[in-house]
């Protein structure tokens, strides 16, 4: 399981619904029929996940492209 998000990426953000700090938690990401476990900042109560811009626009985009060409 790879860690893609550092503490600095999410320390400014908290859950706007529950008012709780985000914690790193193992969640599942899926695309094109494949699923992977990833550690992502998550609200420990409602499960809302935070995906930082840099993760979405770089690593995720790369993996999406690889899976699309499979």
Report which of 8, 12, 6, 4 is spatially closest to residue 29, judged by C-alpha positions.
4
**Beta-carbon-side half-sphere exposure of residue 54 (alpha carbons within 13 Å):** 6
63 makes contact with another protein (CB under 8 A): yes
Q: According to the binding rule CB under 8 A, does residue 26 interact with another protein? A: no
Q: How many residues bind another protein (CB under 8 A)?
A: 35
Residue with tokens 């600095």: 8
Question: Of residues 2, 3, 8, 65, which one binds another protein by CB under 8 A?
Answer: 65
Q: Which is nearer to another protein, 24 or 60 (CB)?
A: 60
Answer whether 38's CB lies under 8 Å from 29's CB: yes
Based on CB atoms, which residue is closest to another protein, 6 or 61?
61
């Amino acid at each position: 399981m790879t860690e893609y998000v550092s503490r600095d990426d999410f320390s400014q953000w908290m859950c706007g619904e529950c008012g709780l700090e985000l914690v790193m938690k193992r969640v599942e990401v899926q695309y094109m029929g494949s699923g992977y476990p990833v550690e992502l900042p998550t609200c420990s109560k409602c499960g809302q996940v935070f995906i930082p811009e840099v993760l979405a626009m770089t690593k995720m985009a790369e993996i999406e492209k690889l899976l699309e060409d499979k």
